[in-house]
């Protein structure tokens, strides 16, 4: 009875929270906190802008290499994302395929037309995106960038089967007795590293709703998990890609290369296209964190009514 009373108190607290604007506000705040990126990224951007104010940019501060690839490897959020999906290299390649990249060679590594080292100019390659957000959640094949070494200075493209990210997230939550929902429902087992990583990139409030619903009804929690998987696959991936693009833009803003502004403009075009893709996906399947909250309230009310009818039986 003590456990039931505690659960009842928890549900009542969540209901009061869900019936106010605090939950929606919490979703917004949690989603950014879950990404864990903005704070660290701000320090990096401030440092880069400080360099940009100087009249002469130190050689070591100039952006060289596969710029998106370097940002992905530095970003802790990408690490949690890759653990949730299972492979660091494949996740980096997928995100680079979504947003494209810019490859800048050092002058001493650049050869002129007669095959000799130039030593005076950087060779710059702008590689466009090869897949869209739609490919990420709606299809099973796409053209991907693949890297042959750790620096990824010469990525190649290959058409191949890809994992549906929303389905992978859903499997972590509902597939089998080792799933997140089943562990919550039965209060048994420990979360795997992949499950911990997935929960860490969710807004905290959604994780709480999923756990509470699992304790009330495992079947209802699985229904809720379908929308959580779809919404998080789209929104978390979009947020991460957007931050990657902004980081590369700020890196280029410190450059004295004449092509820097042109590259920044091309990255902004890519970010605008990502925004259009995100909007189109929400129109195809209008699932959002706010709609998940509404579904939770609806399912919670159904469970309450069923429980009341069961108790009212003679």
Lowest mean pLDDT: which of 16-20, 52-56, 161-165? 52-56
Burial 172-198 (b: 16+ CB within 10 A, else e): bbbeeeebbbbbbbeeeeeeeebbebb
How do residues 205-232 score in pLDDT, each as one tens digit?
889 999 999 999 999 999 999 999 999 8
How do residues 12-38 score in pLDDT, each as one tens digit?
444 444 455 554 454 444 543 444 444
Sketch the domain layout of the chain as residue ranges: 2-312
Instruction: Judge whether residue 284 has pLDDT over 80.
Output: yes
Is the pTM of the predicted complex or chain greater than 0.85? Answer: no
Report strand pairing: 156-161 vs 141-146: antiparallel
How do residues 231-263 score in pLDDT, each as one tens digit?
988 888 888 888 888 888 887 777 666 677 888
- Quote the pLDDT of residue 11: 41
């Amino acid at each position: 009875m003590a456990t039931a009373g505690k659960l009842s108190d928890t549900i009542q607290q969540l209901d009061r929270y869900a019936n106010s604007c605090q939950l929606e506000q919490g979703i917004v705040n949690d989603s950014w906190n879950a990404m864990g990126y903005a704070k660290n990224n701000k320090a990096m951007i401030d440092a880069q802008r400080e360099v940009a104010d100087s009249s002469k940019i130190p050689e070591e501060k100039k952006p060289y290499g596969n710029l998106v690839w370097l940002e992905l490897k530095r970003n802790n959020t990408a690490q949690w994302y890759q653990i949730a999906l299972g492979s660091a290299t494949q996740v980096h390649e997928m995100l680079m395929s979504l947003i494209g990249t810019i490859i800048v060679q050092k002058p001493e590594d650049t050869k002129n037309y007669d095959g000799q080292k130039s030593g005076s100019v950087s060779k710059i390659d702008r590689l466009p995106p090869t897949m869209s957000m739609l490919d990420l959640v709606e299809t099973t094949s796409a053209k991907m960038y693949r890297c042959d070494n750790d620096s990824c200075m010469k990525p190649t493209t290959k058409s191949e089967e890809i994992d549906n990210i929303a389905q992978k997230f859903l499997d972590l939550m509902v597939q089998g007795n080792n799933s997140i929902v089943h562990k919550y429902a039965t209060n048994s087992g420990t979360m795997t590293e992949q499950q911990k990583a997935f929960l860490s990139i969710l807004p905290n409030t959604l994780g709480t709703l999923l756990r509470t619903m699992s304790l009330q009804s495992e079947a209802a929690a699985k229904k809720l998990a379908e929308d959580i998987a779809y919404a998080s696959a789209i929104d978390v991936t979009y947020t991460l890609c957007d931050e990657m693009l902004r980081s590369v833009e700020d890196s280029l803003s410190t450059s004295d290369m004449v092509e820097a502004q042109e590259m920044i403009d091309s990255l902004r075009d890519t970010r605008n296209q990502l925004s259009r893709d995100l909007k189109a996906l929400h129109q195809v399947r209008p699932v959002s964190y706010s709609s998940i909250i509404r579904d939770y309230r609806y399912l919670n009310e159904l469970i309450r009514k069923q429980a009341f009818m069961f108790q009212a039986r003679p």
